[in-house]
Structure 1
Amino acid sequence: MKLSLGTLLFSSLLIFSCTKSNEFGSEISTDAEQIAAGKTLFENNCSTCHNFQQDGIGPNLSGITHHVETDWVKNFIKDPSLAIESKDPRAMALFEKFKTYMPPFASLGEEGIDQILAYLHTYESLPDTLPLTGLQDPIPEPVPDSGIRVELELFSQLPASDEAQPLAKMTKMDVVPGTNRVFVNDQRVGLYELIGQKPQMYLPILDHKPELISKPGWATGMASFSFHPEFTENGLFYTAHTEPGGTLEPDYGYPDSIRVFMQWVLTEWQAEDPAAASFKGSSRELLRIDIPSQAHGMQELTFNPNSKPGDEDYGLLFIGFGDGGLAEQRAAYVSDSKGTRIYSSILRIDPLGNDSPNGQYGIPKSNPFAGEAGKAGEVYANGFRNPNRVFWDKKGNMYATDIGQHSVEEINKIEKGNFYGWPIREGRFIINPYGKFNEIFPLKEDDEKYGVTYPIVQLDHDELAAIFAGYVMPYGPLEGKLIFGDILSGRLFFTDLDDPEAAGVQSWGVLYEGQEISLLELCGGKRVDLKFGQDADGQVYIMSKTEGKIYRIKR
């Protein structure tokens, strides 16, 4: 009987590996093209017998290159019989154990072997370290109800942009810095200003960007916008929207073995008259990024509202950019980049600079990877599946919500340069993005070696399915608490950011016309599509795409 390549490598790992993870493999390529080529070779030659989830006909190969010397693995692939006949101790032990020779794979050539190793090296987990089944209830403690109820009143309604729900796909409310002007987007059609509680079209984006698409649903279309802190003087603001894959050459992409479904486009707009009631001016494209699905793209654009001229953040644009569905497309190695690519990251750019790779924006010198070879200088922090809301408290601390894959939703305190776990972690749990993708597992004792910064708040899908943060409430019974909720069901929660571990999480509810009611009932649809807003006076709003309505939380 002939044993497979994977069987012998796996056995050599068990017999001879006594080193710490990641000690080997530093010379293996991390180039995305090499990895993609290796993936193709693996799938064509090895995947019938081997995977990275569990033993099949052959063993789980996850982690091989991190625990066995690279040269040994390469030489053994080329000619295992030569290693055995030369009395190599590891090869001899394998022969004694299995009593057979593995056929040589020298025909792959140096390039092919290097490519397979590049692909294998994207799998860091040791074989057989995960249980056969994942956790059924990762966070069993239920969220208690605080008993707090606040009164809502209808404030405004956007015009319907479709005949079917959601009637108006609004995702954000924002104000022009230093003014009382309030704006709300509809992903399908553009940007409204709320004047006397009435929406007035400010930027009909389809007139300027006819390639924009907002279907299929989710967060496609014009998903976010933000005004420059000096908009009243320079007239600059920014939008993120989707266009079909292949519309134009991207600034950032990935190997062509992965489909390109959509492109995210960051645009700078300059109003001729910043005080005008409707936009008239010019625009320029800053950045275009390929993604393989409609999910987890450029969900957030924002400036630090606490920053002042002279501060590090002043005038720098933060961009929440998820993994674009790469993990679902079984290409997690692209998002699992540790800062080498911009996917799964919170980015920080200088929109008025010009030293980016495409020359359309600047890379702040204080960014953690600025000027570092092999790194994406735009990356401020990485390891996010979908950082859909980035915000700051009054003390200047930065936070982000991150929507999980199948089990856990997160609130993270953001520190420059830190890694927040995706795609190898979901909350404070292990996830194997190359294998048991919809299961999570407890952390191991040696977890610190991965350098993950874990969320300050995590809730499982017994409580909510897709997290979205609001604001630290400035008034009412929730004053001083961060409010957040579930995008789908509209269930509402709060915590204390000063000490979330001690404070825990509690739920709260709403009253409408004096009667307690769930947001799902109030919105009259199958899902709420919950978002929060705040005006210049600190008034907080709850928004729902279902009927395009905006509700004000009464003081």
Structure 2
Amino acid sequence: MRKASWWVSAVTASVLAATLTPSLTSASAEDAGSGPGAPPIPPDPSPSTLGLVLEEYAQLPASTPNGPWTDVRIGTRHNRINHIGELPDDSGRLYVPDLNGNLYLLEDRQPSVYLDVKAQFPEFLAWRGLGSGFGFVAFHPEFAENGKFYTTHTENPTAPGEQTYPGQPLRSSGVQSVVTEWTADDPTADTFSGSSRELFRYRFAGQIHAIQQIDFNPTAEPGDDDYGLLYLAVGDGGYGVENDIPQRLSDPSGKILRIDPAGTDSPNGAYGIPDTNPWVGEPGALGEIWAIGMRDPHRFSWDAEGKHEMFLGHIGQRAIEAVYEVDGGDDFGWPDVESRLDYQNDTQCRLDPMTEEQAAKGYDFPVASYAHETPANWSCNADSGHAISGGHVHRGDLPGLKGKYVFGDLVKGEVYYATAAHLRDDSDREATVQEMQLYDTSGTRMRMSDFVGDGRVDLRFGTDSDRSLYLLAKATGTIWKVVDTRRAPVPQDVEPTLQDALVAAYDFEHPFAANDSYEVDQGPSRTLIRLVNGGEQMRVDDGAYPGSLNALQLHSAAESPTGQAWKAGIYESDADGMASLSRFAGAEGITVMGWFKMDGTNPTPGYNAIGLAGVLSGNSDGHGVRALLELIQVNGELKLVALGRRLDTGSSQTFAASAPWQELLPDGEWVHLAATFDYTTGTMALYRNGEAVDGFYTNAGDPWQVDGTGTSPTNPRGIKIGGSFPQNGTERNPCNCRMDGLMFLDEAASAAEVARQHRRLLR
């Protein structure tokens, strides 16, 4: 599967901004203030003309978790590599940790095992919780001389070992995070031999959000206060939603710690507590704490230039993925607030701006953020398929990228940037976040999910001593090097006069990362549709128009690889219908348009109709429609039709094309079709490749009972694509065909607008 089209992305940014934050557009997001009355949800990243050229750099070996995993996000990955960096010894060797246990070195792009961390610890655990296993490695800045490096890994909750903080209860569930110091006998060797000692051990109540990253500040010089001090990003164990642990100074959970590996004044005597840490000497506080109020501090890094700021990518709970600038003593407010939102666990599906009392607490707010709200018809308590992966400020020589903080969404694999100079935590303005385009070395524009062939990418970032930028993915265990940048215009591929009418749009190049058998709506309704019976297999390498390389494959059961009809759509059985499609309730008009290609036996033997795409009525059983493109029998002959219904309980009207359907939809040829429905006048129209199609109404009289008003004021039950019953009921009217660029609008587009939309897609 490849991705080269941004045909709706440009309008999506502006439409979603208007939908989620009415006072903002994506262009003005940088002007968003904090505190009461601030926009509660930031806009989605806006598309950028800047793109990265990715060259495959290395492939790491497959690996598996060491226990009975049940989460497919853990067990179905090629491996679980999660970082790439360079040893600080001028050898040019790169290192890559794999959560499943191995620490690899890369020389001339070839991996070799430097240390099997898993084999060193009998209680090693890499199968319970997304971050479990060998989490990270940090090499001491003087590794070339002292051979010291540090790892963090997880162990079984009942594993023996002295807890760093005495008195922790023994638990039968959850995980323990352990930080270990290793000393290599020969730092130049490509295989470790030497000794180790334990620095830190902490038992979490849960199995998620343990210690994600440990690292040294690479910008600190000998003699600096920060030199040789180790930072630990400690998650809340998954329990910040239930209590205030991230705010308790007596507990390390939900904090960033700063320790001195060479010291001895810690509770266990294995490390030191720097006396310049902000809470040193405060009664009841852990002196190790550097910053507090975090849920899942995932990745942090320092800007190699500028003021050497520390930037953190913080994974949110409900709605916000955030970048913070981290200073000693910071409090990011979790779980009292999420970003600039009032967070209440018992009402987390509804988030409000902070109260005045919360705003007065002095919390530190993101310097950049983007929304991770769940799709409209997905549970807010379920995985939404979003999670930030913190990145790096590029200080290399890639044109157009210098001074930009490059990061991304690790699940979807989207790559973003924000200008580092705008990442200021002393300002009420957040930096604008933009999504970069991605290219392979042949110049083909793609998405990261296309590089890996999987809707869930598991993306991470890294750098080397030359400040080159790397991307890596657990999905395939592949590492890519950014070898160049490109500039290309972002297509504005929705006709401007139709943008306000767009409700839902599907290009079949946006799998829902939490479940890639669903497709993400690129319109403002945010309505997921399901790829029924074929799932991810239904996205095929094809494209109806320039820039599109994916299409949706539909099949009858007779021609399906799975023996079941492949179709798509969504259905809501509740009488209230689908709230996300409420703009179709009482609508005065509807337009259904998209690209279609017949590529099999049509109609399927035993059926006398071919379903294309439409909007269901408010009382539909999955078959009845409000507006539909279809091929049905008219006077004993199969015809391309627009079939619509104004009233849920009323009769339908059909406008049929005069020409034979085989002329309008020749086998193997992409054709752009549109059907428009004006309920106030009772008129319908069909268009083919931007031109009106001659036709006739099949029902005499006034079956719609036209009275100058719109449809029934009920929400549609959903969207149907292909054969009937998107809830996967009885097969009816199957289509052996492909579709691309489907759009559903809440007005009847004019002939001129349809023509302009068709021309726009062909640019």
Cα distance in 2 for residues equivalent to 1:381 and 1:202: 33
Q: Does 2:230 match 1:307? A: no
Stretches of structure 1 lacking an aligned partner (at least 5 in a row): 1-134
Q: Is residue 374 of structure 2 the alignment partner of residue 445 of structure 1? A: no
2:369 pairs with one of 439, 458, 464: 458
The match for 1:480 is 403
Identity in percent: 36
In the alignment, is residue 373 of structure 1 matched against residue 302 of structure 2? no
Provide the rounded CA distance (Å) in 1 between the counterparts of 2:43 and 2:189.
Answer: 52
- Give the counterpart letter for 2:121 in structure 1: K
Q: Which residue of structure 2 aligns with residue 109 of structure 1?
A: none
Partner residue in 2 for 1:489 = 412
3-state DSSP of counterpart to 1:223: strand
Q: Distance in 2 between matches of 1:400 and 1:253?
A: 30
1:261 aligns with 2:174: yes
Cα distance between partner residues in 1 of 2:156 and 2:172: 12
Separation in 2, partners of 1:353, 1:144: 47
Give the AA of the match of 1:482.
Y
Could you tell me how far 1:253 is from its partner in structure 2?
7.6
- Return the offset for 1:456: 0.9
Is residue 2:432 matched to residue 1:504? yes
CA distance in 1, matches of 2:172, 2:322: 29
* Superposition deviation, residue 174 in structure 1: 1.9
1:204–1:255: structure 2 CA closer, same or farther, 3 Å change rule? closer
SS of the counterpart of 1:510? strand
Question: In the alignment, what sits opposite 1:529?
Answer: 458
Residue number in structure 2 paired with 1:467: 388
**CA shift digits 1:405-452 (9 cap, x unpaired):** 11111111112112111111111111024x324442211233343221
Q: What SS class does the counterpart of residue 446 from structure 1 fall into?
A: helix
- What number of residue pairs does the alignment pair up? 417
Counterpart in 1 of 2:478?
Answer: 549
User: Which amino acid letter does the alignment assign opposite residue 235 of structure 2?
Assistant: G
Quote the RMSD (CA, aligned, Å): 2.2
**Cα pair distance change 1:462/1:327, threshold 3 Å:** closer
Question: Which residue of structure 1 aligns with residue 310 of structure 2?
Answer: 398
Alignment of 1:385 with 2:313, yes or no, is no
Report the secondary structure of 2:479's partner residue: strand
Partners of 2:403 and 2:420 in 1: how far apart?
9
1:348, 1:364 within 8 Å by CA — same for their partners in 2? yes
Following TM superposition, by how much is the alpha carbon of 1:505 offset from its aligned partner in structure 2, in angstroms? 1.2
Per-residue deviation, 1:317: 0.2
Question: For structure 1, which segment, 283-292 or 169-178, has the greater mean C-alpha deviation from structure 2 after superposition?
Answer: 169-178
CA shift at 1:211, angstroms? 1.6
Q: Is the 8 A contact 2:337 2:354 kept in 1?
A: no
| Aligned mate of 1:202, from 114, 125, 128 | 114
Which of 279, 295, 298 aligns to 2:211? It is 298
Q: Per-residue CA shift, 1:281-339, capped at 9, x if unaligned?
A: 011111111112221111011101110111000000011001011124x2x233331x2
Greater CA drift, 460-469 or 531-540: 460-469
* C-alpha separation in 1, matches of 2:239 and 2:447: 35
Instruction: Determine helix, strand or coil for the equivalent of 1:521.
Output: helix
**Residue of structure 2 in register with 1:322 after alignment:** 235
Contact kept, 8 Å, 2:387 with 2:409, in 1: the verdict is: yes
462 and 522 in structure 1: CA distance in 2 versus 1, 3 angstrom threshold: farther
User: Are 1:282 and 2:205 counterparts?
Assistant: no
SS at match of 1:268: strand
Name the SS of the counterpart of 1:498 in structure 2.
helix
Which residue of 146, 151, 156 maps to 1:234?
146
CA 1:253/1:298 → structure 2, altered by over 3 Å: closer, same or farther?
farther
CA–CA separation in structure 2 for the residues paired with 1:302 and 1:140? 30
The 3-state SS of whatever aligns with 2:337 is coil
Partner residue, 1:515: 444
The residue aligned with 2:608 is none
- 1:335 corresponds, among 246, 255, 260, to 246
> Partners in 2 of 1:230 and 1:262 — Cα distance?
31
CA contact (8 A) 1:171 1:187 kept: yes
Post-superposition offset of 1:150: 1.8
Cα deviation for residue 265 of structure 1 reads 0.4
Distance across 2 between alignment mates of 1:429 and 1:191: 39
Equivalent residues of 1:253, 1:291 under 8 A apart: no
CA distance in 1 between partners of 2:476 and 2:467 (Å): 24
3-state DSSP class of the match of 1:454?
coil
CA distance in 2, matches of 1:314, 1:505: 32
Instruction: Give the Cα separation in 2 of the matches to 1:257 and 1:422.
Output: 26
Amino acid at match of 1:376: L
* Alignment correspondent of 1:218: 130
Counterpart code for 2:344: N
Query: Residue type matched to 1:402 in 2?
Result: H
1:86-235 paired onto structure 2 within 5 Å = 138-139=40-41, 141-162=43-64, 165-179=76-90, 180-235=92-147
Is the contact between residue 313 and residue 391 of structure 2 (CA under 8 Å) also seen in structure 1? no
Once the two structures are superposed, residues 344-398 of structure 1 have per-residue CA deviations (whole angstroms, 9 ceiling, x without a partner) of: 1110000111100010100001111122220001000111111111211122212
Decide whether aligned partners of structure 1 residues 462 and 261 sit closer, same or farther in structure 2, where only a CA change above 3 A counts. Answer: closer
| TM-score (ref. length: structure 1) | 0.72
What code does the residue aligned with 2:443 have? G
Residue identity opposite 1:184 in structure 2: V
Q: For 2:61 and 2:82, locate their aligned partners in 1 and report how far apart those are by CA, in whole Å.
A: 15
Aligned residue type for 1:151: V
Which amino acid in structure 2 is aligned with residue 171 of structure 1? Answer: N
Q: Is the 8 A contact 1:253 1:290 kept in 2?
A: no
Kindly provide the amino acid, as one letter, of the partner of residue 352 in structure 1.
A
Contact 2:368 2:430 survives alignment (8 Å)? no
Give the deviation of 1:140 after TM superposition. 5.8
Q: Shift of the alpha carbon at 1:459?
A: 1.2
- 1:481 and 1:455 mapped to 2: Cα distance? 16
Give the whole-Å Cα distance in 2 for the aligned partners of 1:169 and 1:340: 33
CA distance in 2, matches of 1:462, 1:535: 34
Whole-angstrom distance in 1 between the partners of 2:94 and 2:102: 14
What whole-Å deviation, never above 9, does each CA across 1:2-40 have from its counterpart, x for those lacking one? xxxxxxxxxxxxxxxxxxxxxxxxxxxxxxxxxxxxxxx
Alpha-carbon distance in 2 for matches of 1:257, 1:549: 39
* Alpha-carbon spacing, 1:426–1:497, altered in 2? closer, same or farther (3 Å): same
Residue deviations 1:227-259, cap 9 Å, x none?
A: 001111111000000001010242248874976
Query: Cα–Cα, structure 1 residues 333 and 254, in superposed 2: closer, same or farther, change >3 Å?
Result: farther
Relative to structure 1, is the Cα distance of residues 166 and 436 closer, same or farther in structure 2, using a 3 angstrom cutoff?
A: same
Gaps of 5+ in 2: 1-37, 66-74, 375-384, 424-428, 485-763
- Could you give the per-residue CA deviations for residues 465-503 of structure 1, whole angstroms, max 9, x where no partner exists? 111122112223322111110010001111012114475
